[in-house]
Amino acid sequence: MDEWYAFMDNLSSQTMTFIIKRRQLTLRKLDSEISQIKKDSEKLKTEKDFIEQSYKGEKLEKIENDVVGITQKQNQQDVKDYMTKTAYAKKFSKSNTSNFKKQSYE
């Protein structure tokens, strides 16, 4: 009977050792999967940040282009207004000068 208990105790001990080793192996495997997931997560975060930055850059570039376009249109309008005023002023001064000359000759 003592041999039977010794055999069962040995079997129980071997079974427990097997279970412990199996759990350790499972834990190592899970740890490696977790570390791989963390690496993938960091990679995705980096890609996400890059995409966000490039989107912000494109958005800023579009805004800058819009501002430049508006500024150019405003500058063109200012030039047209200036030319119109200058032309009107020249025309007005010529007509006043000719009127003044006419009046002085009379």
At 53-80, the pLDDT tens digits run 877 777 777 777 777 777 788 888 888 8
Per DSSP, the three-state class of 36 is helix
Q: Above 80 in pLDDT, residue 99? A: no
Alpha helix segments (H runs only) across the chain: 2-105
**Pick the residue with more confidence: 95 or 7?**
7
Tell me: pLDDT of 14 over 80. yes
Q: Quickly state the pLDDT bin for 84 (edges 50, 70, 90).
A: confident
- Check residues 33 and 54 and name the one with the higher pLDDT: 33
The residue-averaged pLDDT of 36-45 equals: 91
Q: How far apart are CA 1 and CA 45, in angstroms?
A: 64
